[in-house]
């Protein structure tokens, strides 16, 4: 694979991976510590009083959601902070003057974000084995949904960074939109426990579909039909990637 | 022969309504060492930004080494190396990594990228700093790092936006030698600078831009030939209380030991020395007040000067 685009793509990905590995104390360690606390407090201490959820131990029920939560926040956070830092330091100009097509830039940053998301997901999965037994119900569903979710949120992170003009702008979306949607996305509970109207409202939250499909892949239960989840993931991937490409093409936030 | 850079009717209006370029035309030949000069805000960086794909153009055409910016942007980018005015590398990356990374963006495989990085870091005296984070470099080293980075894909044309700003005279002169050598090897060089002696000594052709318009473009020698007046300072032995009356020469007292006088085209220094002798003045030394290009630049870009010389 010596095509210039492939070399440029792998250069971007390598740079992104090197960045989050270099600052692992900020990128890989915090999600590990946070998730261990979730396992101890929600899974062990509170979970032992909650009993079972849809026929599974509470710990077994929440682990897929917590893995997914870590993948979502880290895929998003990696691209939004890295791309914005590149903009802020003007080092994005290194890419803008080079003969790298916009779709290569997009894919490079997205795969960089996906790499960190999956690395964190893997760390959290490994840590969860201290607290519960994990048996994968459907490996293909598990892998495909986590990969597609990481791609969706890494792309969303890039769009956030393109619009951002200051560092506050890359923290607003995760704090006020991503975290609430994740908590309300069925990580800690089954939506079937909610009154019917709130079940309907919950189904407007795309993260609910991702969490439930991943949970289906791990333990074989889901509150929603998994094909609907795949449909939504494809829709989001297509829409967000098209939007990001359009923004890169117009030079929004990059070229005056 | 295909021109290195061909700009026709290039216009740019920024979102805030500021008209940075008012339809400029500019030609740079292959192998030229070319200076684009102008006061701050004249349109130099906008012009070079458009050529480098860092600024969206309004209208007009830009061709680099025969490739059209609108239809062959990737070829244009491959032909160009860009050294911007402000430092624009990741300050946490190591020096060598920055070059290898940039080579990768141009499709150079890692082995070749490492060879090129070594070549240019050595040429620019940065090889012993290759494992240092770029934020730890001095200002002069950072400038040289940006030049090395711009050359790593060995472009046909190098654009430098104030490459020697803020560097000491020794490093500036070593950069001049490096750029002269690079140009001698065939790379077309376009630079902007506020050091006019730099443009005068390095560049064969010069364009002066002001308020978004090219107000002069010619070979450096021709431009300077057209300069009608030069100001010199003569230091004399003894003490002066007023400027002496020298026939046909406009002179002013600088201090009690120095006289400033204007020499127009056609007047010789021999005649000046004769006038000094007639006035009983013993000239110890004589020097140009400023360099010729600087005087020409001021004449062309300062409104009051333009009116005075009109």
**A249 exposed, middle or buried (CB, 10 Å; 0-12, 13-18, 19+)?**
exposed
Tell me the C-alpha distance between B38 and B22, whole Å.
Answer: 15
Instruction: Please list, in sequence order, all residues whose beta carbon lies within 8 angstroms of the beta carbon of residue A221, skipping any fewer than 6 positions away.
Output: A54, A55, A56, A215
Helix ranges (H only) for B152-290 are 169-184, 196-202, 220-225, 269-278
Structural domain includes residue A205: yes
Instruction: Pull the structure tokens for residue B245.
Output: 């009356």
pLDDT string in tens for chain B (310-residue length)? 789 999 999 999 999 999 999 999 999 999 999 999 988 888 999 999 999 999 999 999 999 999 999 999 999 999 999 999 889 999 999 999 999 999 999 999 999 999 999 999 999 999 999 999 999 999 889 999 999 999 999 999 999 998 888 788 888 888 889 999 999 999 999 999 887 778 888 899 999 999 999 998 989 888 777 666 778 888 888 888 888 888 878 788 888 888 888 887 677 888 888 888 888 888 888 887 766 677 777 777 776 544 444 3
Work out the burial of residue B232: count CB atoms within 10 Å of its CB; fewer than 13 is exposed, 13-18 middle, 19 or more buried: middle
| Structural domains of chain B, ranges and CATH numbers in brackets | 5-224 (3.40.50.300), 228-309 (3.30.70.1560)
Per-residue pLDDT, B300 = 74
Q: Does A99 touch chain B (CB under 8 A)?
A: yes
Hey, are the CB atoms on A11 and B89 less than 8 Å from each other? no
Phi, then psi, of B308 in degrees rounded to 5: -65, -35
* Beta-carbon separation of B53 and A86 below 8 A: no
For residues A172-184, average pLDDT:
89
- Give yes or no for B15 touching A (CB within 8 A): yes
Q: Is residue A92 part of a domain?
A: yes
CB of B89 within 8 Å of any CB in chain A?
Answer: yes
Contact list in A for residue B84 (CB cut-off 8 A) is 90, 93
What pLDDT was estimated at residue A1? 59
Which of A202 and A161 is assigned the larger pLDDT? A161
Q: A4 to chain B: nearest residue by CA?
A: B107
pLDDT value for B310: 38
Q: Is B31 on the interface with A (CB under 8 A)?
A: no
Contact A97 B56 (CB under 8 A): no
Determine how many CB atoms are found less than 10 A away from the CB of residue B250. Answer: 13
Complex ipTM = 0.87
The Cα angle at residue A78 between residues A73 and A81, in degrees rounded to 5 = 110
A95–B104 C-beta distance less than 8 A: no
Chain B residues in contact with A86 (beta carbon < 8 A): 90
d(C-alpha B98, C-alpha A19), whole Å: 13
* B contact test, residue of A1, A11, A81, A86 with most B CBs within 10 A: A11
Residue A93 lies in a domain: yes
Contact: A3, B80; criterion CB under 8 Å: no
Could you read off the pLDDT of A11-24 as tens digits, one per residue?
999 999 999 999 99
Across the interface, whether the CB atoms of B54 and A96 are under 8 A apart is answered yes
DSSP B94: B
pLDDT score, position B227: 65
Please judge whether A94 and B102 are an interchain contact, meaning their C-beta atoms are less than 8 angstroms apart. Answer: yes
Q: Within an 8 Å CB–CB cutoff, is residue B18 touching chain A?
A: no
CA-derived radius of gyration, chain A? 19
Using a CB-CB distance cutoff of 8 angstroms, which residues of chain A are in contact with residue B52?
97
Integer angstrom CA distances of residue B160 from A19, B39, B247: 29, 16, 47
Is residue A232 a part of any domain in this protein?
yes
Contact (CB, 8 A) for B98 and B131 = no
Residues in contact with B173: Cβ distance below 8 Å, sequence separation at least 6, in sequence order: none
Residues of A in contact with B80 (CB under 8 A): 97
Chain B residue with Cα closest to A254: B54
Contacts of residue B57 in chain A, CB cutoff 8 Å? Answer: none
Give the residues across from B11 on adjacent strands.
Answer: B22, B59
Spatial CB neighbours of B127, under 8 Å, sequence gap ≥ 6: B118, B121
In this complex, is the C-beta atom of A15 within 8 Å of any C-beta atom belonging to chain B? Answer: yes
Task: Give A-chain residues touching B86 at CB under 8 angstroms.
Answer: 90
Residue A93 and residue B88: Cβ atoms within 8 Å? yes
Measured between alpha carbons, how far is B243 from B310 in angstroms, rounded to an integer? 27
B54: chain A residues, CB-CB within 8 Å: 93, 96-97, 255
Q: Check CB contact of A101 with chain B, cutoff 8 Å.
A: yes
Q: Is residue A256 part of a domain?
A: no
Residue B133 is classified by DSSP as B
Measured CA to CA in angstroms, residue B254 lies from B188, B240, B258, B279 at distances of 43, 10, 5, 17
Q: How far apart are CA A65 and CA A189, in angstroms?
A: 10
Put simply, whether A88 touches B (Cβ < 8 Å) is no
Residue A169 is assigned to a structural domain of this protein: yes
Taking residue B127's Cβ as centre, other Cβ atoms within 10 Å add up to 16
Q: Does A97 touch chain B (CB under 8 A)?
A: yes
- A100 chain-B contacts, CB cut-off 8 A: 105
Chain A contact probe: residue of B55, B104, B158 with most A CBs at under 10 A: B104
The DSSP result for B136-157, as a single string, is GS-HHHHHHHHHHHHHTT--SE
Instruction: Tell me which chain A residues have a C-beta less than 8 angstroms from the C-beta of B149.
Output: 94
Phi, psi of A227 (to 5 degrees): -70, -35
Q: Which one of A94, A104, A109, A254 makes the best mutation probe of the B interface by having the most chain B beta carbons within 10 Å?
A: A94
Answer whether residue A255 is part of any domain: no
Question: Closest-CA residue in chain A for B89?
Answer: A91
Q: Which residues of B touch A11 (CB under 8 A)?
A: 101, 104-105
Quote the distance between the C-alpha of residue B233 and its chain's center: 26
User: Cβ of B134 under 8 Å from any chain A Cβ?
Assistant: no
Q: Which helix (H) or strand (E) holds B287?
A: strand B283-288
Predicted pLDDT at B290: 67
Query: 3-state class of B282 per DSSP?
Result: coil
Name the one residue in this structure whose structure tokens are 């216009």: B11
Tally of domains within chain A = 1
Closest CA to A4 of B104, B97, B154, B73: B104
Q: Chain B contacts of A2, Cβ < 8 Å? A: 109
What was the pLDDT predicted at A52?
Answer: 81
Per DSSP bridges, beta strands B213-219 and B5-13 are unpaired
d(Cα B25, Cα B12) in Å, to the nearest integer?
13
- Which domain, by its residues, includes A154? 4-250
| Inter-chain residue contact B107 with A3, CB threshold 8 Å | yes
Asked whether residue A125 is assigned to any structural domain, the reply reads yes
Of B75, B90, B104, the CB nearest to A11: B104
């Amino acid at each position: 694979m010596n095509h210039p685009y492939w070399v440029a793509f792998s250069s971007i990905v390598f740079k992104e991976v090197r960045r989050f590995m270099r600052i692992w104390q900020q990128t890989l360690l915090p999600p590990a510590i946070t998730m261990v606390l979730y396992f101890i407090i929600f899974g062990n201490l509170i979970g032992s009083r909650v009993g079972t959820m849809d026929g599974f131990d509470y710990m077994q029920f929440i682990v897929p959601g917590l893995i997914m939560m870590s993948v979502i926040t880290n895929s998003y956070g990696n691209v939004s902070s890295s791309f914005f830092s590149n903009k802020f330091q003007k080092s994005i100009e290194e890419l803008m003057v080079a003969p790298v097509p916009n779709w290569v830039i997009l894919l490079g940053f997205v795969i960089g974000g996906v790499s960190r998301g999956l690395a964190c997901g893997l760390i959290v999965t490994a840590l969860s084995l201290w607290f519960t037994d994990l048996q994968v119900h459907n490996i293909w569903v598990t892998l495909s949904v986590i990969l597609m979710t990481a791609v969706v949120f890494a792309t969303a992170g890039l769009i956030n960074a393109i619009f951002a003009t200051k560092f506050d702008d890359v923290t607003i979306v995760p704090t006020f939109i991503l975290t609430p949607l994740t908590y309300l996305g069925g990580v800690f509970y089954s939506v079937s426990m909610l009154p019917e109207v709130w079940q309907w409202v919950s189904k407007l939250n795309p993260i609910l579909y991702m969490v439930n499909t991943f949970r289906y892949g791990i333990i074989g239960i889901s509150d929603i039909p998994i094909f609907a989840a795949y449909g939504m993931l494809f829709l989001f991937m297509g829409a967000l990637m098209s939007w990001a490409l359009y923004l890169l093409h117009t030079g929004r936030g990059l070229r005056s | 022969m295909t021109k290195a850079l061909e700009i026709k009717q290039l216009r740019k209006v920024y979102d805030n309504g500021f008209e940075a370029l008012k339809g400029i035309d500019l030609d740079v030949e292959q192998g030229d060492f070319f200076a684009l000069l102008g006061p701050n805000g004249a349109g130099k960086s906008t012009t070079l930004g458009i050529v480098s794909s860092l600024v969206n153009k309004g209208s007009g055409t830009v061709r680099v080494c025969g490739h059209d910016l609108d239809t062959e942007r990737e070829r244009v980018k491959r032909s160009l190396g860009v050294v911007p005015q402000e430092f624009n590398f990741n300050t946490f990356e190591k020096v060598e990594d920055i070059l290898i990374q940039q080579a990768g963006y141009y499709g150079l495989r890692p082995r070749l990228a490492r060879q090129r990085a070594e070549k240019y870091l050595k040429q620019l005296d940065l090889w012993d700093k290759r494992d240092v984070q770029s934020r730890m470099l001095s200002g002069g080293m950072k400038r040289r790092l940006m030049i090395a980075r711009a050359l790593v894909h060995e472009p046909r044309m190098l654009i430098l936006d104030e490459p020697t700003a803020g560097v000491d005279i020794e490093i500036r002169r070593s950069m001049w030698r490096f750029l002269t050598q690079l140009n001698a090897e065939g790379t077309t060089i376009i630079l902007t600078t506020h050091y006019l002696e730099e443009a005068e000594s390095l560049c064969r052709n010069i364009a002066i831009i002001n308020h978004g318009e090219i107000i002069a473009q010619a070979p450096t020698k021709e431009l300077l030939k057209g300069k009608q007046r030069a100001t010199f300072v003569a230091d004399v032995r003894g003490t002066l209380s007023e400027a002496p009356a020298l026939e046909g020469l406009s002179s002013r007292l600088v201090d009690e030991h120095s006289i400033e006088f204007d020499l127009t085209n056609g007047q010789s220094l021999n005649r000046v020395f004769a006038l000094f002798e007639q006035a009983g003045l013993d000239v110890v030394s004589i020097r140009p007040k400023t360099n010729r290009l600087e005087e020409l630049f001021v004449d062309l870009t300062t409104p009051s000067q333009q009116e005075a010389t009109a």
